[in-house]
C-alpha cells in the first residue's frame, strides 16, 4: 500500500468497504460484495462520480462521511450546533486517517470552531457487518450546544429504491412497511424515550427486485434505546443517503470545554436478499454484542403473569410451580405484584420490599419450593419507574423526570425516575442487589412500561442521558452478580437494540402471545436479532390480549421459534394438554444445544397467508421448519413448500415433528407420505421442489424435522 493511498479498504468474508481519501472530506466510495484484490487506486479513480450540471454551485459538494452545509451540501448536515458567543458555520477538514487491521480511524478538525470529530469505521471479518462510531470533542474555551449530531451518513446507490421500516403498536410490534425512495426526505423520528413500539431503529434500503433470497439490500441498525431519527433523502442531483442519530431536545446536549459527546454506534451490512443480511446480523450479535451467557443452552421459562396477575399468595404460587415443573419448566419467574402495596398497577412501584401481608415469610418459602424442583428463580422489576402512590415518591418527588410547574402525564399510573442521578442509581442498585443476594436470583425480567414525556431535571431536557444511565446500572448489577441474567422487557418489545443487548440477553418481543399475531411480530423481530434471545411463550387457548382462540399445537409451534416457555395457568391443564406440552418441551430440550447457534431462514411461500421459517444447525445436519396458516386459503391445497439452508449434497430423514397429525388428517383425503412415515430425500430436492404440504385448517401449524441420513447403502 502506498504511503498516501487514494482509497482505504476493509475486507470481510464476502464484503468490501472502501473509503476515498479525499484531501478534505473522506467518503464511502463502495460498500458491498467483495472486490478483486487486483483493483488499484488508479482503476478506482475512473469510477468516481464527477459529473456536474449547470444551475448549481460551481463545485459539486461531496457526500462525505460527515456532510456539512458549509461545503454546499444541501441535505441534512451531520452537525447542527452553536456556541453562546457566536453562530457557527462548522466546516471540518481531514486531519488524519489511519488503517489498522479491520478498522479505519479518521480525525476531522475545524480550527475556527475549535471542534474535532473522530470517526471509526470497522468491518467484522466473519459476519460482514460494518460499524461506524462517531464522537465530537470540544477544544474551545466555552460550551458547544449540539442540536443534531449524526452517528452516521451512508450513501445510497441509485438502484436502492425501496425503504423498508418496521412499525407497530403495543401488542403488534415489528410490522413491515415499504415506501419508495424518491425526491424529498423520509423522516422516521422516534420521540418515545425508548426504542419504541411505533418504530424500531432498523431500516432496510433495497432494490425493486428484493426478495427473501435475492436483490440488493442494505440493513442499517442504530444501537440506541432512546429518541432517534432516520433520514432517507434523495437530492435533486440524484445523490441519495441515509442518516441516523440521536434525536435531541433543545439544550439537551452541551459539550463542555475539553469534553466530548459519543454517538451510539450504527451497524450495517449490504447483501443479496433478506436472509443473507439477517444471518449476518445474527452472527455479528452472537459474536460481538450479546453477553456470554447467551451462548449457554437456554432454560424453559414459566412466568406467573397471565396465570395469576396481581392475585398472588404462597399456596397458589407453589401449586403453579408444581404444575409448571410437570410440563418441563426449568426457570420460574415471579412477575409483578410481589412488593409492598402492589395489589394493582396504580401503587407501589419504587418500593422494592417484599410485601409481608402477601408473603408472611417473605419469598424464602417460594424460592425454596422452586429450587426443590431443580428450577431457577427469576423476579420481575420495573426499576426506572415509580408510582406517585409509593413511599419512594413521597420521600423523593424530585427524583422523577419532570419540568418545574408542569404536570407530567401519567402512563400506567406511573412516572419515570431520573436514573442518571447518582442517588437514584445507587438506590436502585442497592434495592435490586440486596434481593439478588438474599434469594440468589438467577434472572431479572426488567420491564419499562411507559414512554418518556417532559423528560427533564426540572429545568433542562435530559432524555438522552437516560439510556446510558440504564446501561450503566445494568452493567453494575452484572459485575456484582456475574451469573445474573437480565431480560429487556418494555411493555413487550419497546426496547430492543444493540445498545441494551450488550447488558441483556433476552427480549420479551411482545405482550401479545396470540400465536397468529406473534407469527408476524416474530418474523419482524428476527430480521435483525437472533432467535435464541427472543422470549416466545405458549399462552392460554383464549389469548388475553386479542381474545382469539387457537389450538395448543399452533401455540407451541410458534413458541418454538424462540426461547421457549409458558405464559399460562398450568394448574388447569387436562392430561391431554399436559402430554401435548411435554412433547413440545422435550423437542425444545432435545434440540436447543444446536438451536442456540442455528441459522435462521425465512422461507418463500405460495401464499401470503402461509408463513414459514426454519432453524438450521450450523453443521447443516439438523433443521426444524415451521409452517403457520393464518386463515383459509382460496386454493383447495397449499402446494409444495421449498426449504432453505440444507446441504444440497446430503440426504435427509424428514418427519413430522409436531404431534398434531390427528388434527390435520380429517382435512385430507390423501396425506403426503412424509406426514405419516419418515422419508429420505436430498437437500437439493427439498430446496428446489420442496415438500407437499398437507391441507391445513385455518390457524393451524406444523413442524417438521430434518436430520442427515448417514446409513445410505
Tell me the three cell numbers of residue 574.
387436562
Q: Using an 8 Å Cβ cutoff, are 281 and 222 in contact?
A: no
Catalytic residue selected from 335, 355, 511, 514: 511
Cell 385448517 belongs to residue: 697
C-alpha cell at 368: 425454596
Distance CA 132, CA 123 (A): 9
Whole-number Å distance between alpha carbons of 323 and 489: 25
Distance CA 399, CA 427 (A): 11
Assigned C-alpha cell, 542: 383464549
Report how far residue 515's alpha carbon sits from residue 511's, in angstroms, rounded to the nearest whole number. 12
Smallest CA-to-CA distance from 573 within 315, 314, 329 is with 329
At residue 74, what are phi and psi to the nearest 5 degrees? -100, 5
Burial 251-279 (b: 16+ CB within 10 A, else e): ebbebeeeeebebbbbbbbbbbbbbbbbb
Place of cell 407453589: 318
Is residue 493 within 8 Å of residue 438, measured between CB atoms?
no
List C-alpha distances in Å: 341 to 106, 233, 336: 55, 51, 12
- Closest by alpha carbon to 697, among 629, 610, 611? 629
The closest alpha carbon to 531, from 602, 440, 584, belongs to 602
SS3 for 410-443, per residue?
CECCEEEECCCCHHHHHHHHHHHHHHHHHHCCCE
SS3 per residue for 261-297: EECCCEEEEEEEHHHHHHHHHHHHHHHHCCCHHHHCC
Evaluate whether 543 touches 512 at the Cβ level (below 8 Å): yes
Nearest to 411 by CA among 400, 396, 398: 400
* 4 CB burial (10 A radius; 0-12, 13-18, 19+): exposed
Can you tell me which residue has the cell 456470554? 292
**What residues form DSSP beta bridges with 610?**
629
CB 505 within 8 A of CB 290: yes
Return the closest-CA partner of residue 703 out of 689, 690, 693: 693
Q: Which of these, 335, 313, 322, lies nearest to 373 by C-alpha position?
A: 322
124 in Cβ contact with 287 (< 8 Å): yes
| Angle in degrees, CA 255, 259, 262, rounded to 5 | 75
Q: Active site residue: 447, 451, 497, 514, which one?
A: 447
Q: Are 76 and 30 contacting, i.e. CB atoms less than 8 angstroms apart?
A: no
The count of other CB atoms within 10 Å of the CB of residue 53 is 9
Burial call 346-383: b when 16+ CB within 10 Å, e when fewer: bbbbbbbebbeebbeebbeebbebbeeeebbbbbbbbb
> What cell was used for 154?
451512508
Q: Beta partners for 417?
A: 400
> Cα–Cα distance between 445 and 305 in angstroms, integer?
11
Closest CA to 179 of 242, 120, 118: 242
Give residue 420's region: left, alpha or beta (phi > 0; psi -120 to 50).
Answer: alpha
Catalytic (active site) residue 447:
yes
**511: annotated active-site residue:** yes
Q: What nine digits make up the cell of 472?
A: 450503566
| Residues noted as catalytic | 447, 511
Amino acid at each position: 500500500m502506498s504511503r498516501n493511498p487514494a482509497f482505504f479498504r476493509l475486507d470481510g468474508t464476502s464484503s468490501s468497504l472502501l473509503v476515498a481519501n479525499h484531501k478534505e472530506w473522506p467518503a464511502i466510495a463502495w460498500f458491498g460484495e467483495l472486490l478483486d484484490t487486483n483493483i488499484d487506486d488508479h482503476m478506482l479513480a475512473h469510477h468516481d462520480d464527477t459529473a456536474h450540471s449547470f444551475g448549481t454551485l460551481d463545485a459539486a459538494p461531496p457526500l462525505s462521511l460527515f456532510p456539512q452545509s458549509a461545503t454546499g451540501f444541501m441535505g441534512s448536515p451531520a452537525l447542527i450546533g452553536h456556541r453562546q458567543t457566536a453562530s457557527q458555520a462548522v466546516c471540518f477538514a481531514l486531519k488524519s486517517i489511519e488503517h489498522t487491521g479491520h478498522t479505519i480511524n479518521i480525525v476531522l478538525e475545524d480550527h475556527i470552531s475549535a471542534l474535532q470529530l473522530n470517526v471509526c469505521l470497522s468491518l467484522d471479518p466473519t459476519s460482514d457487518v460494518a460499524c461506524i462510531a462517531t464522537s465530537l470533542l470540544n477544544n474551545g474555551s466555552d460550551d458547544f450546544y449540539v442540536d443534531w449530531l449524526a452517528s452516521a451518513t451512508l450513501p445510497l446507490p441509485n438502484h436502492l429504491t425501496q425503504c423498508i421500516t418496521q412499525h407497530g403498536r403495543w401488542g403488534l410490534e415489528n410490522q413491515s412497511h415499504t415506501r419508495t425512495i424518491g425526491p424529498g426526505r423520509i423522516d422516521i423520528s422516534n420521540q418515545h424515550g425508548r426504542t419504541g413500539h411505533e418504530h424500531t431503529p432498523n431500516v432496510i434500503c433495497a432494490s425493486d427486485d428484493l426478495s427473501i433470497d435475492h436483490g440488493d439490500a442494505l440493513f442499517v441498525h442504530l444501537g440506541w434505546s432512546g429518541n432517534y431519527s432516520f433520514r432517507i433523502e434523495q437530492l435533486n442531483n440524484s445523490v441519495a443517503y441515509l442518516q441516523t442519530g440521536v434525536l435531541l431536545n433543545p439544550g439537551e446536549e452541551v459539550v463542555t470545554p475539553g469534553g466530548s459527546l459519543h454517538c451510539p454506534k450504527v451497524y450495517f451490512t449490504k447483501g443479496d436478499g433478506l436472509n443473507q443480511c439477517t444471518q449476518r446480523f445474527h452472527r455479528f450479535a452472537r459474536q460481538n454484542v450479546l453477553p456470554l451467557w447467551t451462548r449457554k443452552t437456554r432454560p424453559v421459562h414459566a412466568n406467573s403473569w397471565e396465570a395469576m396477575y396481581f392475585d398472588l399468595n404462597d399456596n397458589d404460587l407453589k401449586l403453579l410451580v408444581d404444575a409448571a415443573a410437570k410440563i418441563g419448566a426449568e426457570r420460574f419467574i415471579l412477575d409483578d405484584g410481589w412488593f409492598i402495596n402492589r395489589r394493582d398497577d396504580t401503587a407501589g412501584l419504587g418500593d422494592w420490599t417484599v410485601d409481608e401481608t402477601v408473603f408472611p415469610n417473605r419469598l424464602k418459602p417460594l424460592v425454596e419450593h422452586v429450587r426443590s424442583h431443580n428450577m431457577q428463580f427469576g423476579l420481575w422489576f420495573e426499576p426506572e419507574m415509580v408510582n406517585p402512590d409509593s413511599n419512594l415518591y413521597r420521600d423523593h418527588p424530585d427524583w422523577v423526570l419532570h419540568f418545574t410547574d408542569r404536570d407530567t402525564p401519567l402512563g400506567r399510573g406511573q412516572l419515570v425516575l431520573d436514573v442518571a442521578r447518582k442517588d437514584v442509581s445507587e438506590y436502585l442498585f442497592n434495592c435490586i442487589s440486596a434481593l439478588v443476594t438474599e434469594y440468589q436470583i438467577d434472572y431479572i425480567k426488567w420491564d419499562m412500561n411507559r414512554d418518556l414525556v417532559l423528560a427533564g431535571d426540572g429545568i433542562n431536557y435530559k432524555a438522552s442521558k437516560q439510556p446510558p444511565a440504564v446501561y450503566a446500572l445494568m452493567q453494575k448489577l452484572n459485575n456484582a452478580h456475574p451469573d445474573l441474567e437480565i431480560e429487556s422487557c418494555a411493555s413487550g418489545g419497546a426496547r430492543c437494540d444493540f445498545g441494551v443487548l450488550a447488558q441483556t440477553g433476552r427480549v420479551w418481543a411482545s405482550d401479545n402471545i396470540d400465536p397468529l399475531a406473534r407469527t408476524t411480530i416474530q418474523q419482524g423481530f428476527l430480521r435483525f436479532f437472533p432467535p435464541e434471545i427472543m422470549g416466545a411463550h405458549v399462552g392460554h387457548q383464549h389469548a388475553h390480549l386479542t381474545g382469539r382462540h387457537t389450538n395448543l399445537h399452533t401455540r407451541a409451534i410458534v413458541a418454538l421459534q424462540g426461547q421457549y416457555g409458558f405464559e399460562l395457568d398450568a394448574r388447569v391443564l387436562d392430561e391431554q394438554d399436559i402430554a401435548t406440552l411435554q412433547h413440545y418441551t422435550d423437542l425444545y430440550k432435545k434440540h436447543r444445544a444446536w438451536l442456540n447457534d442455528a441459522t435462521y431462514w425465512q422461507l418463500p411461500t405460495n401464499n401470503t397467508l402461509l408463513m414459514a421459517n426454519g432453524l438450521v444447525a450450523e453443521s447443516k445436519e439438523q433443521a426444524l421448519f415451521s409452517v403457520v396458516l393464518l386463515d383459509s386459503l382460496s386454493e383447495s391445497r397449499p402446494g409444495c413448500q421449498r426449504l432453505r439452508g440444507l446441504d444440497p449434497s446430503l440426504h435427509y430423514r424428514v418427519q413430522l415433528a409436531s404431534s398434531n397429525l390427528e388434527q390435520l388428517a380429517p382435512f385430507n383425503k390423501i396425506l403426503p407420505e412424509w406426514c405419516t412415515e419418515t422419508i429420505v430425500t436430498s437437500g437439493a430436492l427439498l430446496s428446489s421442489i420442496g415438500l407437499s404440504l398437507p391441507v391445513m385448517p385455518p390457524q393451524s401449524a406444523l413442524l417438521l424435522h430434518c436430520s442427515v441420513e448417514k446409513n445410505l447403502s
